[in-house]
C-alpha cells in the first residue's frame, strides 16, 4: 500500500513536470520538496491511521478550560 502511494506521487510528479512549461529552478525545487513531504505524510498516515495530531494550542486550551469551569 505504501509503495503504491509513493509510486502514485512519483507518477504525478513526473507527469506534471513533463507537461508543464519551463519554470525557474527555484519553483521546481520547491515543488519537488513539497511533493516529497506530501508523499511521506501520506505514507505515514497509510501505515498508521491513528497517527496523533499535534495540538500546538492544546496548552492554551487546557488553561482556558481550567479558568472557565462552565464547561461546554
List interacting residues with another protein (CB under 8 A).
9, 12-13, 16, 20, 23, 26-27, 30-31, 34-35, 37-38, 41-42, 44-46, 49-51, 53, 57, 60-61, 64, 72
Q: How far is the CB of 24 from another protein (least distance, A)?
A: 9
Signed CA dihedral, 19, 30, 50, 3: sign only = positive
* 25-44 as b/e: b if 16+ CB within 10 A: eeeeeeeeeebeeebeeebe
Q: How far is the CB of 57 from another protein (least distance, A)?
A: 5
Amino acid at each position: 500500500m505504501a509503495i503504491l502511494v509513493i509510486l502514485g506521487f512519483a507518477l504525478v510528479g513526473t507527469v506534471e513536470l513533463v507537461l508543464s512549461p519551463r519554470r525557474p529552478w527555484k519553483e521546481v525545487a520547491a515543488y519537488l520538496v513539497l511533493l516529497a513531504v506530501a508523499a511521506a505524510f501520506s505514507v505515514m498516515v497509510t501505515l498508521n491511521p491513528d497517527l496523533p495530531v499535534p495540538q500546538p494550542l492544546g496548552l492554551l486550551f487546557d488553561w482556558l478550560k481550567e479558568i472557565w469551569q462552565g464547561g461546554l
